[in-house]
Amino acid sequence: MHLILLLVFFVSPAYAWLPLEDWGSGNVTSSVGGSGQCVCHVFLPDITFPANRVESVQISSNQLTVDVELHINKLISFKGQLVVLLEELSNLTIRLEVVESGPDKYIKLEFELLKIELRQFEALVTELKGSFNSSSPAFDSLYNEIHNMSIIVDQLESYDQSNLEVIRIEFAKLQKKLEKCRDDQDDFSNAQTGSCKHGGILRVGKPVVSQLNANLNTGYIYGGWGKDTKPLPGSENMYWYSASTNTQVRYITTYSDYYRLILRQSMKTYDLYTSKDWRGLGNNYIVRANVWYYQFSNPFSMAKYNLTSQTVAYRVVPMASSRFSYHYSANQNLDFATDEKGLWVTYATEESKGKLVLGRIDEEAFALSAVYETSVFKQSVTNAFMICGVLYVTRSVDIHKEEIFYTYDTNARKESYISIPFEKFQENYMYLDYNPTDQKLYMYNNGYYVSYNVKFKSA
């Protein structure tokens, strides 16, 4: 159920302004493109286009572009889409209750609105279905159910108590299905959250593409996103995002939950360059306990920016060199990671001749408490992350594929060469980290938020 959704829209930007019922008179079809991507065609009948809206449309063409991109982004992720579908369904359910309890004169109107919205809902699912592997029986049946429901509602000529009962039953069934789909996504990991009673990664799921970055700009290829890896109470659902058109690190934005992240409704944006210059480099940071760990620019060192107090502290990492970076980007000299065991940083030194070194960070002291040397050259590595005290190192296989090719187990002080390939959404990525709170990998892939589920070997 984890697929890359790539939607190509043939749609006049002007239509982004149209209210829902105008979208509803359109017609959505989908097909699989030459390279296996999913192409979604939206046909909108010109005859219904209201000429009087053209003027206001032309005036705000900038806003229009944003609106169209938002519409496209809204359709990018399955998981994100499910969140939206569930909310829309619950909106429909509320509306249904209003219809039922309202005085008679409103009932007819509300009932018509309900029909229109259901049509919308169907269009949304049609688009979603088009972007799926057709061999997904769960999704086919979900689609059929919504389609059936839409037919049923259409057939209901008039408002009637028993008709509403039929709709209500259909809604309840649908909600269960949607929730199951959502839960199936979360079932991938087979180890208890926080537990290290497993034998390490068995395989990595398909990339789940959530969204183009919140700047809605494909030029923002240097960045990262994710969740706090040790959230403060009340911030368990918080997401963060940081990106730039270059390797400099300056802003970080927080979102109260996934839904807000997708809708780009931020909580707060923090700036590392105000009265003091606390900017960083390299986009290999991590957020832990509301503290942002990143590579400080000047002097070259590891830094922590406390989002609560908005203060910074930095420490030089002994021996770390600013000469060695990862394969896809310059200036990625210090890479922060967290796992079930704590906080880590990888780098290379002149002494190691550019080979990757792993340091364990004592969070209290904000200093290295242990150092492990590996035998892989940092410059051939694309990224690295930690799970249960084991360092996983990736490299590029080709433009579509990446591979975890090396591990270093700090528990046993033992290294191994392995091969766990996984798909990329796009070729280059600047950020890859594991989050122990949900056991997912978070990747910032050429400006897109991408995540992966991980399946572990049994212990």
CB of 459 to ligand NAG, least distance (A): 29
Q: Give me the count of residues in the chain.
A: 459
Choose the binding region for ligand NAG from 133-141, 158-166, 177-185, 219-227 (rule: CB under 6 A).
133-141
Interface positions, 257-296, toward ligand NAG (CB under 6 A): 289, 291
Residue count, binding to ligand NAG (CB under 6 A): 19
Q: Does 135 bind ligand NAG (CB under 6 A)?
A: yes
CB of 235 to ligand NAG, least distance (A): 13
CB of 84 to ligand NAG, least distance (A): 5
Interface positions, 48-87, toward ligand NAG (CB under 6 A): 84, 87
Nearer to ligand NAG, 123 or 243 (CB): 123
Reading the block at residue 112, the tokens are 């018509």
Q: Does 35 bind ligand NAG (CB under 6 A)?
A: no
Site track 86-105 with ligand NAG (rule: CB under 6 A), x = hit: -xx--x--------------
Note whether 401 and 424 are within 8 A (CB).
yes
Quick one: which of 56, 63, 65, 141 contacts ligand NAG (CB under 6 A)? 141
Determine the angle formed by the axes of helices 104-130 and 137-155, rounding to 10 degrees: 150
Reading the block at residue 280, the tokens are 């960083």
CA distance linking residue 303 with residue 293, whole number of Å: 6
Nearer to ligand NAG, 179 or 351 (CB): 179
Q: What are the angstrom distances between the C-alpha of 321 and each of 6, 214, 361? A: 40, 32, 17
What DSSP element (H or E) covers 239? Answer: strand 239-244
Choose the binding region for ligand NAG from 140-148, 186-194, 382-390, 419-427 (rule: CB under 6 A).
140-148
Among 375, 248, 255, 369, which Cα is nearest to 307's? 255
Note whether 425 and 209 are within 8 A (CB).
yes
Dihedral over Cα of 181, 84, 221, 3: its sign: positive
Note whether 83 and 124 are within 8 A (CB).
no
Nearer to ligand NAG, 91 or 269 (CB): 91
- Looking at the chain, the number of H-run helices and the number of E-run strands are 8, 25
Choose the binding region for ligand NAG from 12-20, 139-147, 222-230, 270-278 (rule: CB under 6 A).
139-147
Quick one: which of 58, 306, 375, 411 contacts ligand NAG (CB under 6 A)? 306
Note whether 130 and 28 are within 8 A (CB).
yes
Residue 56 φ/ψ, nearest 5 degrees: -65, -30
Nearer to ligand NAG, 145 or 257 (CB): 145
CB of 308 to ligand NAG, least distance (A): 4
Q: Does 37 bind ligand NAG (CB under 6 A)?
A: no
Buried b (16+ CB within 10 A) or exposed e, 376-410: bebeebbbbbbbbbbbbbbbbeeeeebbbbbbbeb
- The contact set with ligand NAG (CB under 6 A) reads 3, 27, 36, 43, 84, 87-88, 91, 133, 135, 141, 144-145, 148, 289, 291, 306, 308-309
